[in-house]
Amino acid sequence: MALEIIGAGFGRTGTNSLKRALEHLGFGPCHHMFEVRESPEQLALWQAAARGETPDWDRVFAGFRSQVDWPGARFWRELAAQYPAAKVILSVRDPDKWFDSVQATIGRFMADRGKHETAQENALAEMAHELVVRQIFDGRLDDRAFATKVFRDHVAAVKADIPPERLLVFEAGEGWPRLCDFLGVEVPDAPYPHTNTTAEYAARRQAAPD
């Protein structure tokens, strides 16, 4: 099964809500960091990618129809080339609000690599730190000016590289209409998902051991 939808947006741009939306529209299963967190096999594949090994994308995304969020979004160019028929969704939000959300959620998780209670969580944090913090943000994810510039540059690069007819720039929280039009499906009679907010993330981390 080849990917039909590639999510090029950074984490904390409404990617989990988009994952749920795509699955509701029939484009699931949708790959997200959650799938890596829950699967030792997935984690091993992404650890290899973080070390610089060339992934077998068909194996990485076996059984998935769509992909959003990191770690997949780290390789948006490679995935767009690997799956030329796939449509690309670039999820975006205000860069400063994005930065604040990252610092309150996944930034802390990655910074605490080696301090979590399980080997799986520590390995996930280390893999994400390598792919995201080091490779995308040059180790400066906590620098607002630098990180938001990387965010803006990323948005510009995706817009420049992906043909307009293949690309949807999707604002976090905007709802169904443009997404459904882009995918050629009917707008469902259900609210657009709104999940994994900063508050929900914090509550989940407090409720479960690291």
pLDDT-based confidence at 206, cuts 50/70/90?
very low
- Range(s) of the domain holding residue 184: 5-207
- Checking if the pLDDT of 207 tops 60, the result is no
φ, ψ at 87 (rounded to 5°):
-85, 155
132: CATH: 3.40.50.300
Q: Which of 171, 188, 151, 187 is nearest to 73 (CA)?
A: 151
pLDDT tens per residue across span 82-105: 999 999 999 999 999 999 999 999
pLDDT tens per residue across span 33-89: 999 999 999 999 999 999 999 999 999 999 999 999 999 999 999 999 999 999 999
Rounded mean pLDDT of 15-39? 96
Q: Which of 168, 169, 188 is nearest to 26 (CA)?
A: 188
φ, ψ at 19 (rounded to 5°):
-55, -50
Helix/strand/coil (H, E, C) string of 104-165? Answer: HCHHHHHHCCCCCCCHHHHHHHHHHHHHHHHCCCCCCCCCHHHHHHHHHHHHHHHHHHCCHH
- Whole-angstrom Cα distance, residue 198 to residue 1? 33
pLDDT for position 196: 54
pLDDT tens per residue across span 134-193: 999 999 999 999 999 999 999 999 999 999 999 999 998 899 999 999 999 999 999 999
The whole model's pTM is what? 0.91
Classify the C-alpha dihedral 26-183-77-121 as positive or negative: negative
Residues 6 or more apart whose Cβ sits within 8 Å of residue 63: 1, 29
Q: Rg for the chain (alpha carbons), in Å?
A: 16
- Maximum pairwise Cα distance, the chain: 46
pLDDT for position 99: 98
For 5, 58, 153, the CA distances from 28, given in Å and listed in that order, are 10, 16, 29
- Checking if the pLDDT of 198 tops 90, the result is no
pLDDT-based confidence at 195, cuts 50/70/90?
confident
- Checking if the pLDDT of 200 tops 80, the result is no
Instruction: Say whether the peptide bond before residue 29 is cis (omega within 30 degrees of 0).
Output: yes
Could you give the number of structural domains in the chain? 1
- Whole-angstrom Cα distance, residue 65 to residue 126? 27
pLDDT for position 208: 40
